[in-house]
Structure 1
Amino acid sequence: MANRGLFVGLVTLDIIYLADAPPQPNQKIVAQETTIAAGGPATNAAIAFQHLGNSSTLFSAIGCHPICHLIEADLKSINVMDLDPDRQEPPPISSIVVSQSTGDRAVISLNAVRTQISPDCIPSNLLDEVDIILIDGHQMAVGAEIAKMAGTIPVVIDAGSWKPGFEQIFPYVDYAICSANFQPPTEQSVFDYLYSYGIENIAITQGEHAIEVFNHSQITVPQVNVKDTLGAGDIFHGAFCHFILQHDFVTALAEAAKVASYSCEFFGTRQWMRSAHSYNIEAR
């Protein structure tokens, strides 16, 4: 039976270009490739989790603006619960330029700052058939309430950057996966700060560099021929949710790193899933 994951947070419409470099002021450039996809940390994680053989539910705010059909079409393979289905304003849109020579990305986005939803919309039976929860912090009030409701269901926090309100969620977190950009408002180290909330499973990802793990040695990240790093962290989190239901913390991190690194060999956030070898990551 497939594991069931609930992914709480941001949905964007990503317009992605592959170019030599981001444009300079007053410069027009021509892209080598372009693609459009639904994006956002929870969204990409949900899609990766489902691709690895599980069942994903995305809990986010989308709305009914005419361009939302592009998001809905891209997310048709997963279960989507729209927190604000009557919203007529356009969804958050991300414009992204991926540099062809390095795979680095430049992103401008509105994120969910104008689409915060009340936790009153949470169904009482939301967690009845859920094996793992990932919260990205972009719907903070909803995420905090779901974390409190989780009980014995493991909660994973995607701490890509500090967001006010995270302190309401941390007491209920089982696994904290942070990026190197996560800096809480304290003089404590990230490890000490999160451990003060009782979190013992803490990791800090650093792109292609080794993953720092609380009370454990570093985990080496596979080195690949990078074409695009966009969404690699989100894919890492979705893969982690898959592997942590089968393995210990360190093994799950190492396996998730294989998936995320592999995804960087392809342009955009979906092409890696269309490769003939995309599922059999562990054999690589």
Structure 2
Amino acid sequence: MSEQSKQGLFVGLTTLDLIYQVPQVPQANQKLVAQASLIAAGGPATNAAIAFQALGNTACLVSRLGLHALAALLKQDLQQWQIQLLDLMPQSAQMPPVSSILVTAATGDRAVISRNAVSLQVEARHLLPLPSADIVLIDGHQMAVSQAIAQQAQRQQIPVVIDGGSWKPGFERVLPYATYVICSENFRPPDCHTTTDVVAYLRELGLAKVAITHGDRPIEFWQDSTQGSLAVPSVSVVDTLGAGDIFHGAFCHWILQPQISFSQALKQAAQVAAFCCQFWGTREGLIRLQQTGGQSLKFE
């Protein structure tokens, strides 16, 4: 599927995802038997790295895992996808973040409970020597490390993609080094209450290429003086878990291909994410893409 294999550096969160497919989200004191379940490595940067790798590239994940028994499960999953790992705290015995996720079978909607990396922040002095990269993605879950990497990438003229799923304190120190900022509609910097506010905030930082996703509704994008929208492919949704992460990983792949514009890369990424929403779990769609060499998608 890859037009030209590239190297990507993905910085941020790795969680142990406990995923359950359920008929509905349970009410208080209700017990449910799941229709399906699985355990996988998750987190925005992690899922994006796996999507990037699945599209024929080489992905390196910069995250915190450590020596806890649960970290061994995460490392095993990453190894299966041939993801290179730079563990920020390899000797830490702390438990990695665990996410409990309920996916409603009829709609594909997901409910997530997680601690993320709130209590597992790493100082930039723990940063290891970085491998060469053609692109860097930052999800904002390791802010000090992300700032140091973003600064280094800018000096080396390596494009930096920001996954703005939600606003996190410290993003204001990382955003000035970004090349592309792709936010969800839930991304709200301080004193920003509308999309107009968000775009104005980002443009004031000198960011020329900005996109805001809205689930299954059109993607809005701004490129220099151009503003536009892109329709999201309509598919029969089975599971939306990880769709945004896969979108970001696919964007990193497509923006590096020759003659591909910002809007075209967004469009191609949306097709990849939509395709994966047709399958249960965060991996099956990517496996199908690998098996078919991308023939399941009709890229324009």
Residue 124 of structure 2: aligned partner = 119
Residue 131 of structure 1: aligned partner = 134
Partner secondary structure for residue 144 of structure 1: helix
Structure 1: 5+ residue runs without aligned partners? none
For 2:114, which of 92, 109, 115 is the aligned residue? 109
Counterpart of 2:73 in structure 1: which amino acid?
A: L
Shift of residue 216 of structure 1?
2.1
Cα distance in structure 1, aligned partners of 2:107 and 2:53: 29
Aligned partners of 1:160 and 1:179 also within 8 Å: yes
Aligned partners of 2:164 and 2:181 also within 8 Å: yes
After TM superposition, list the pairs within 5 Å mapping 1:206-221 onto structure 2: 206-214=214-222, 215-221=226-232
Residue 203 of structure 2: aligned partner = 195
**Count of matched residue pairs:** 282
Structure 1 stretches of at least 4 aligned residues deviating more than 4 Å after TM superposition: none
Alignment identity in percent?
53
Cα distance in structure 2, aligned partners of 1:177 and 1:283: 23
Residue 25 of structure 1: aligned partner = 28
After TM superposition, list the pairs within 5 Å mapping 1:168-179 onto structure 2: 168-179=173-184
Partner secondary structure for residue 75 of structure 1: helix
Cα distance in structure 2, aligned partners of 1:249 and 1:255: 10
- 1:88 equivalent in alignment to 2:93: yes
Partner secondary structure for residue 142 of structure 1: helix
Cα distance in structure 2, aligned partners of 1:123 and 1:281: 39
Shift of residue 281 of structure 1?
5.1
Cα distance in structure 2, aligned partners of 1:146 and 1:281: 35
Residue 254 of structure 1: aligned partner = 267
CA deviations 1:235-284 (Å, max 9, x no partner) are: 00000000000111000000000000011001110011222446335426
Partner secondary structure for residue 96 of structure 2: coil
Shift of residue 94 of structure 1?
0.2
Residue 265 of structure 1: aligned partner = 278
Aligned partners of 1:258 and 1:281 also within 8 Å: no
Residue 279 of structure 1: aligned partner = 294
Shift of residue 87 of structure 1?
1.1
Aligned partners of 1:255 and 1:282 also within 8 Å: no
CA deviations 1:190-234 (Å, max 9, x no partner) are: 111101111010000011100011232210000000000000000
CA RMSD of aligned residues (A): 1.2
- TM normalised by structure 2 equals 0.91
Partner secondary structure for residue 69 of structure 2: coil
Cα distance in structure 1, aligned partners of 2:116 and 2:60: 20
Cα distance in structure 1, aligned partners of 2:293 and 2:187: 29
- 1:184 equivalent in alignment to 2:195: no
Structure 2: 5+ residue runs without aligned partners? none
Cα distance in structure 2, aligned partners of 1:236 and 1:249: 13
Partner secondary structure for residue 67 of structure 1: helix
